[in-house]
Amino acid sequence: MPPELRPSDRAPGLLLGEGVALPGSVEIGGNVVIHAGTVVGEGARIQDGAVLGKPLALGPGSRAPGGTPRALVVGARATVCAGAVLVAGARIGEGAVVGDQAHVRERTTVGAGSVVGRGSAIDNDVEVGSGVRIQTGCYLTAFTLVEDEVFVAPGVTTTNDPTMGRHPAEMALRGVTLRRACRVGGGATLLPGVEVGEEALVGAGAVVTVDVPARAVVVGVPARVLRRTADEELIERWR
């Protein structure tokens, strides 16, 4: 095993990095790995095979910011499900849930009470607000902003590079912006830099190429405005 990890009798197969102190209220499954510096809050649940504080590893030619990220922080009463991987420098809010085999990268924040579904990947430098629901198999690209109470259905893909890797080094990548309480339907694809407005709805399978106004309902390829979100559909009616 790496020299910075040591076995712990706290749970079967548990490996802890230097300086990791787990509160007594933390529930730990089998074969969990928690790397050096990781902070885990009171009452958190870490399920079987999860990896917390994974060291940053960038591919050849990657233009993502390098360096040594901050420690991973898992908030009080958060749940990290089986096989999930949280990279050093991420922050998981109180009561949030990171689903089975999900992946959360460095400098990304998942807000309090939010859910990241099974097998979803959240790239580096993403901000996810509170009360967000990200379903199974989604991809949130780097530099994406997701405001509070957004719903992202299964299989949604966001993008941030219109050149698909063939751009000058000085070109900034632009993630997607999902404003408060908007909803994105299953299998939708959002192109680099687009904004989906507050309380807007993107239909299943849509390809969003331009900004979506607040409260607009858009469908199709490319997505076009179909109607306006009705008052009875607003999130305040469903809390």
**Structural domain includes residue 31:** yes
Same domain, residue pair 80 and 152: no
Residue burial 125-160, b: 16+ Cβ < 10 Å; e: rest: bbbbbbbbbbbbbbbbbbbbbbbbbbbbbbbbbbbb
Number of domains in the chain: 2
pLDDT for residue 68: 67
- Asked whether residue 124 is assigned to any structural domain, the reply reads no
In a domain, 125, yes or no: no
Give the whole-number percent of the chain exceeding pLDDT 90. Answer: 85
Q: Are residues 100 and 169 in the same domain?
A: no
pLDDT for 32 beyond 80? yes
Same domain, 146 and 99: no
Whichever domain contains 40, its CATH number is: 2.160.10.10
Pairing status of strand 45-46 against strand 79-80: parallel
Q: Is residue 130 part of a domain?
A: no
Q: What is the pLDDT of residues 190-211, one digit of tens each?
A: 999 999 999 999 999 999 999 9
Residues 158 and 81 in one domain: no
Q: What is the pLDDT of residue 238?
A: 83
Does 179 lie in the same domain as 93?
no
- 146 is written with which tokens? 């997701």
Mean pLDDT of the chain: 94
Whole-number pLDDT of residue 2: 60
Q: Quick one: 71 and 151 in the same domain?
A: no
| pLDDT score, position 168 | 83
* Domain contains 133: no
Q: Distance (Å, rounded) from C-alpha 187 to C-alpha 139?
A: 11
User: Strand, helix or coil at 223?
Assistant: coil
Q: What is the mean pLDDT of residues 75-94?
A: 98
User: How does 91-102 read in b/e, with b if 16+ C-beta sit within 10 Å?
Assistant: bbbbbbbbbbbb
Instruction: Tell me whether residue 177 is in a domain.
Output: yes
State residue 61's pLDDT score. 66
pLDDT of the residue at 3: 56
Across the range 204-222, mean pLDDT stands at 98
Contact 102, 120 (CB under 8 A): yes
Q: Which domain does 239 fall in, by range?
A: 138-239
Q: Mean per-residue pLDDT for 75-100?
A: 98
Domain edge (last residue) among 65, 81, 116: 116
Are residue 59 and residue 20 in the same domain, yes or no?
A: yes
Let me know whether 142 and 107 are in one domain: no
Copy the structure tokens of residue 225. 């405005």
- Within a domain: 131: no
- The Cα 24–Cα 66 span in angstroms is 34
Model pTM score: 0.93
Specify the length of the chain in residues.
Answer: 239
In a domain, 92, yes or no: yes
**Same domain assignment for residues 110 and 149:** no
Residue 57 CB partners (closer than 8 Å, separation 6+)? none
Which of the listed residues 116, 151, 177 is the one where a domain comes to its end? 116
